[in-house]
A = this chain, B = another copy of it.
């Protein structure tokens, strides 16, 4: 493998475009050499913007390309597992957007393919690469704040996605809170034992009509004793609210709001700061950049990525546990899910 990691991007939608841009312009040592999409015009537009040499309508063209070291799977969720298997068969290392699949058995088959072919698989839990979350993890891992006892994560979107998206998303727990489940495991360095969740439809009744919720709170007991809170809302009028806090025997570490700029305005009515960064593209751009850098480094060094297949599987299982808890009105043990 040359020093430059050559990547093919599969899928040129919102998230594919994001990864293509970030990998092309902001990650050193990486080159996006091909992009595919079922709509070739979409792939072509991204290729033109990012200077990507090859455009394909069929992802198999990318998999067949011997010069490509790795693929970034950014297509729709229902295609992830199959593409992982195909990519593994083609001997490509794999970055795959979350979730791997909405079905644990389907995930297991995909992970088996990855293990069999000894390729690397990194799942797109971008928040692990956020500088603030990384410092929180470090505060726990180094023992600086002692044994973790409480963990609080708030994650609120500025506005609900379109109903069309929500219908195939797997629902709030598997589409949105899945990030927070992974973040909790990452921050605590521990595994969940039991999940309880309350959920409701407070933002938009249309979301309830399709069987989903838009507001939820989960409490999770971890194996070593720490208790974790997660809250999600599909609508925070003041921006994309992303905060985490770990409280331990020797101290606490938390992330603060990230405002649009660092100004303070003082008028007779009081002091004001601007809204916080409005959505994940702005808020997590440096995290996506770092994610790309880490993926390339793992590929280069043949090292297991920080968020690997197993992490992707557990986060999905936690989503199902929360969903079950909210539906059945009882705490759900992770041991109800095989392999957790």
Contact = CB atoms under 8 A, between A and B. Distances in A.
Interface of A: 25-26, 51, 131-132, 135-136, 139, 144-145, 147, 149-150, 152, 154, 156, 194, 196, 198, 200, 202-203, 215-217, 219, 221, 225-227, 229, 231, 233, 235-239, 241, 247, 249-276, 329-331
A138 to B, nearest CB: 9
Given A238-B251, A250-B268, 12 more contacts: A194-B198, A196-B198, A196-B331, A200-B221, A200-B227, A202-B249, A229-B229, A251-B265, A255-B264, A259-B271, A268-B275, A271-B276
Given A25-B25, A150-B233, A272-B271, A263 B255 contact: yes
A313 B236 CA distance: 34
Contacts of A252: 236, 238, 241, 265-266
B217 A202 contact: no
A69 to B, nearest CB: 20
B262 A270 contact: no
Given A225-B202, A233-B150, A262-B258, A270 B271 contact: no
A255 B136 CA distance: 22
A252 B154 CA distance: 12
The residue in A156, A221, A226, A267 that gathers the most chain B C-beta atoms within 10 A of its C-beta is A267
Q: What 6 pairs between A and B have smallest CB-CB spacing?
A: A238-B266, A131-B261, A251-B267, A252-B266, A272-B272, A271-B273
Given A265-B139, A271-B272, A149 B233 contact: yes
A245 to B, nearest CB: 8
A315 B261 CA distance: 26
Contacts of A253: 263-266
The residue in A25, A144, A149 that gathers the most chain B C-beta atoms within 10 A of its C-beta is A149
A146 B226 CA distance: 33
Contacts of A198: 194, 196, 219, 221, 227
Nearest to A148: B202
Contacts of A227: 198, 200, 215-217, 231
A231 B151 CA distance: 10
Nearest to A130: B261
Nearest to A26: B25
Contacts of A194: 198
A235 B249 CA distance: 8
A268 B215 contact: no
18 contacts: A25-B25, A25-B26, A51-B51, A144-B267, A215-B225, A227-B231, A237-B250, A237-B268, A238-B271, A251-B265, A251-B268, A254-B266, A266-B276, A270-B272, A270-B273, A271-B272, A271-B273, A272-B273
